[in-house]
Amino acid sequence: MILLEDDPVLFQFISTKLNLSDSARIIEAPDIKEAVSPLIVELVIQDGNNTYLTQIKSKVNLDAVARMTLLKELLKKQESGILHYSFVIAGKSIPKSVEHIAKAVGIKLVIIPRNIHLFVKNENFPRFLKAKITSEKSWRVITRLLKEKMTSIRQLSLLEHVSYGWAHTIIQTLKNQDIVTMKDNYVTISNIDALLNGAAWERPFENLIENEITINFDNAHTAATELSHMLKQHKVRFAFTAYTAGGLYTGYAIRHDSVYLYLEKDEIDFFIQTFGEEEGEGIRARIYVPDRKLFNDSREIENIRVVSPAQTLLDLAGLGYSARDITKAMVEKYALL
């Protein structure tokens, strides 16, 4: 974590790059009501009616942009004067790919020169939660709780074949963050928004994207159906996810201009060479590389191979507020899937 105490040089540099007035001053960060824990920014500057929420990083990556985007969406939902906020990430190393994405989502980037020293506290960036909720074992416990709605920790342990100690750790972590409530020996999820925010913060789905290409189909459903048929013929391991899978599971109207699918990394070149279109109209295929074992749990719905309901929910949650409606629809129907 970058510390700004006794570091007027960095504050002055950032103020200059943002073209702030001499009356600009550091203030406390605003309270975010729906955050699982404080969304940390190292520097909040007020200049007149404008507030600049600034994160300081040695290396700026996609995760930093995703976290700041989530902060922006939470404030937009909570504050009426969101136009008075600016969102800034300052760092010494900013890849070109990150610059492009930050510009697209309205986040300002500031490059810190090498002669300005960053004082780094010797500890990891604080996690949203004590235990990582989006790990494979943790997410199994959480989605089992969604399916059962109310059950005991011991039952969660037995149903998901994890140790009682692990199940207890996950539930205690969620309880400490007011995501679940307990009555006697039974537990239930009581704050879905906080759970989804935590998942989006911890595992931004777009961090897994490997490529995006144009494919020659008129709509997403036809594309997913035909691609499923052809990829199975070639014995390619794949599964559709996110909006594509979520729409099939819930009946929710999905985007017709894109399909979302997982491919193993060594199959991506084959997919691009076989189905990619250099010219002409079509829809987009967004290709992701899995960060866990997910193909064995895939299902067939309307002749389309999709990831499991648990994986679909995790990936939709990782898209943040842009996919919140369909994510909520998945939550509502999860017990029946």
195 and 215 assigned to the same domain? no
Calculate the CA 269 to chain-centre distance: 26
Indicate whether 130 belongs to any domain. no
Indicate whether 131 belongs to any domain. no
Residue 123: per-residue pLDDT: 38
Domain end (from 150, 185, 201)? 201
**Closest by CA position to 17, among listed 105, 90, 83:** 90
Mean pLDDT calculated for residue range 21-37: 68
Indicate whether 77 belongs to any domain. yes
Indicate whether 65 belongs to any domain. yes
Residue 35: per-residue pLDDT: 52
> Which domain CATH number covers 6?
3.40.1350.10
Residue 143: per-residue pLDDT: 97
> Which domain CATH number covers 328?
3.30.460.40
Q: Are 259 and 240 in contact (CB under 8 A)?
A: yes
Q: Which residues form the domain of 267?
A: 205-336
319 and 214 assigned to the same domain? yes
Residue 184: per-residue pLDDT: 86
CA distances from 177 to 73, 126, 133 (A): 20, 14, 12
* pLDDT, tens digit, 9 for 90 and up, residues 152-182: 999 999 999 988 888 888 998 898 888 999 9
140 and 177 assigned to the same domain? yes
331 and 239 assigned to the same domain? yes
Q: Reply yes or no on whether the pLDDT at 36 is more than 50.
A: no
331 and 214 assigned to the same domain? yes
Mean pLDDT calculated for residue range 270-291: 92
Based on the structure, what is the number of domains in the chain? 3
Indicate whether 128 belongs to any domain. no
pLDDT, averaged across the chain? 87
158 and 237 assigned to the same domain? no
> Which domain CATH number covers 177?
1.10.10.10
Domain end (from 120, 154, 179)? 120
214 and 331 assigned to the same domain? yes
Q: Tell me the C-alpha distance between 52 and 110, whole Å.
A: 12
111 and 65 assigned to the same domain? yes
210 and 329 assigned to the same domain? yes
171 and 290 assigned to the same domain? no
26 and 97 assigned to the same domain? yes
196 and 214 assigned to the same domain? no
Q: Tell me the C-alpha distance between 139 and 129, whole Å.
A: 13
